[in-house]
């Protein structure tokens, strides 16, 4: 697909704020967000149907699906991929995965060039990614995503720290401000710019196997 062309549907469910968005030829056509601690199929599908109905767009008009792959909510990321791939199947439409952290950095690039996207990975660890933004705001991950113990995370001076869990991180980052959430519109924009990652959720912890209990 030519960059910044066609109809793109973005889906972002990696945080407690879900969102879906439509971009047409690189411009935002419509976007809807909702808050919910638990991801539910019915909310996502109802919101998608409303979005398409209000814009007069059908699934057959979509030329690209863009999905936020995290880091973030395990169930939300899995649902994003399942829904996008199911919707794309009938017309064999392309699906691209984009870092949700990069989408968050894209939005924050209006304020700073160096951005740290941070979240609480539990087990006394942060997950974090450091981004350097170009003049047009495109964020580049300086290194791979990492898990860092609370007491070992060092953020360079002049770096803007953002997180969808900001209210829980004020003890470590007093100037972090309010929570910021990755948006489906930014996921879609990055996909249009050619960003494409593995078509699977970005899990910061390795899978944990728990043996089933039998009575």
- 133 pLDDT above the threshold of 60: yes
Q: Is 165 helix (H, G, I), strand (E, B) or coil?
A: coil
Digit-coded pLDDT (tens) for 12-25: 999 999 999 999 99
CB of 163 closer than 8 Å to CB of 86: no
Q: What percent of the chain has a predicted confidence (pLDDT) above 90? A: 82
- 210 pLDDT above the threshold of 70: no
Q: How many domains does the chain have?
A: 2
Residue 131 tokens read as 């981004």
Pairing of strands 7-12, 94-98: unpaired
Same domain, 162 and 106: yes
Nearest to 120 by CA among 13, 16, 7, 18: 16
Q: Which long-range contacts (C-beta less than 8 Å, at least 24 apart) are formed by 141-149?
A: 141/99, 141/101, 141/102, 145/71, 145/101, 145/202, 145/204, 147/121, 147/204, 147/205, 149/124, 149/125
Same domain, 33 and 110: no
- Residue 181 has a pLDDT of 97
Report yes or no on 211 lying in a domain.
no
Same domain, 20 and 84: yes
Q: Which domain holds residue 125?
A: 102-168
CB of 139 closer than 8 Å to CB of 112: no
Same domain, 96 and 186: yes
- Residue 155 has a pLDDT of 95
- Residue 212 has a pLDDT of 45
Q: Full-prediction pTM beyond 0.85?
A: yes
Stretch 183-196: mean pLDDT, rounded? Answer: 95
Same domain, 74 and 111: no
- 206 pLDDT above the threshold of 90: no
């Amino acid at each position: 697909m030519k960059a910044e062309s066609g109809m793109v549907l973005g889906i972002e469910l990696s945080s407690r704020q879900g969102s879906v968005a439509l971009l047409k030829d690189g411009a935002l056509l419509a976007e809807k967000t909702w808050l919910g601690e638990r991801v539910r199929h019915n909310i996502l599908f109802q919101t998608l149907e409303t979005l398409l109905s209000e814009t007069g767009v059908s699934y057959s008009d979509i030329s690209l699906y863009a999905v936020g792959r995290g880091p973030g909510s395990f169930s939300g990321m899995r649902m994003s991929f399942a829904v996008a791939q199911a919707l794309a199947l009938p017309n064999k439409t392309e699906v691209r995965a984009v870092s949700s952290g990069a989408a968050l950095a894209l939005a924050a690039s209006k304020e700073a060039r160096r951005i740290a996207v941070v979240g609480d990975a539990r087990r006394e660890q942060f997950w974090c990614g450091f981004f350097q933004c170009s003049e047009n705001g495109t964020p580049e991950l300086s290194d791979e995503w990492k898990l860092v113990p609370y007491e070992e995370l060092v953020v360079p001076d002049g770096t803007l720290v953002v997180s969808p869990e900001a209210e829980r991180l004020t003890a470590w980052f007093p100037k972090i401000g309010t929570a910021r959430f990755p948006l489906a519109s930014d996921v879609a924009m990055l996909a249009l710019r050619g960003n494409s990652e593995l078509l699977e959720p970005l899990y910061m912890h390795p899978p944990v196997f728990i043996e089933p209990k039998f009575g």
